[in-house]
Amino acid sequence: MKINGNAIRPNMVIEHQGRLWRAVKIQHTQPGKGGAYLQVELKDIRNGTKLNERFRSSETVERARLEQNEHQYLFSDGDMHTFMNNETYDQVTMPTEAIGEEQAAYLQDGMTVIIESFEEEPIGMQLPDHVTLAVVEADAVVKGQTAASSYKPAVLENGMRTTVPPHIEMGTRIVVATADCSYVERAKD
């Protein structure tokens, strides 16, 4: 599907120079002279090389048609992660570099994820928007801080760091956003 050069968004997969690229970062630039353009940092899906490219709104880019299927996370063996298709029960194994190290840290037994495939080859994964994790380490509350916007640092069971409200203690299960590991709410379970 053809799209305008300025319609590229982060995480979008495009076909460019005969290869598949994932947009990592985008920046709209409007120089004083000349037309506006979109500066895009692209990462090759197959070998991980990076490329910085400029796209003007008058240019068209081919957006890759990705097949998206729900899969259930089964287990990890080293840096390989195994998923099962919820409809066909076929198993798919993907390396950490295809998933992303940060996303792999959120994987939990039985979690449902979306596996993106291009021409039957798995190339990426989408996590749920929120996951529930336990706090394994939380700083003590500092007396005198006001309740408004006084968050304290905490470490989650997957090793990631976030900030939590003062009432959250070690052992508390919380819901975090997978996009930026930010605190959403206390878990209701």
- Is 130-186 a domain of CATH 3.40.50.2000? no
Q: What phi and psi, each to the nearest 5 degrees, are found at residue 100?
A: 105, 130
Tens digit of each residue's pLDDT (9 = 90 or more) over 23-54: 888 998 888 888 888 999 998 888 878 999 99
What is residue 139's predicted lDDT score, i.e. its pLDDT?
Answer: 81
- CATH no. of 67-126: 2.40.50.140
CATH 2.40.50.140 range(s) for the chain read 67-126, 130-186
Residue 147, pLDDT above cutoff 60:
no
- CATH no. of 2-63: 2.30.30.30
What is residue 149's predicted lDDT score, i.e. its pLDDT?
Answer: 65
Residue 130, pLDDT above cutoff 70:
yes
Number of other residues whose CB lies within 10 A of the CB of residue 148? 5
What is residue 188's predicted lDDT score, i.e. its pLDDT?
Answer: 87
What is residue 85's predicted lDDT score, i.e. its pLDDT?
Answer: 93
Tokens of 9: 């968004």
Say how many Å lie between the first and final Cα of the chain, rounded: 43
Q: What phi and psi, each to the nearest 5 degrees, are found at residue 61?
A: -125, 145
Per DSSP, the three-state class of 6 is helix
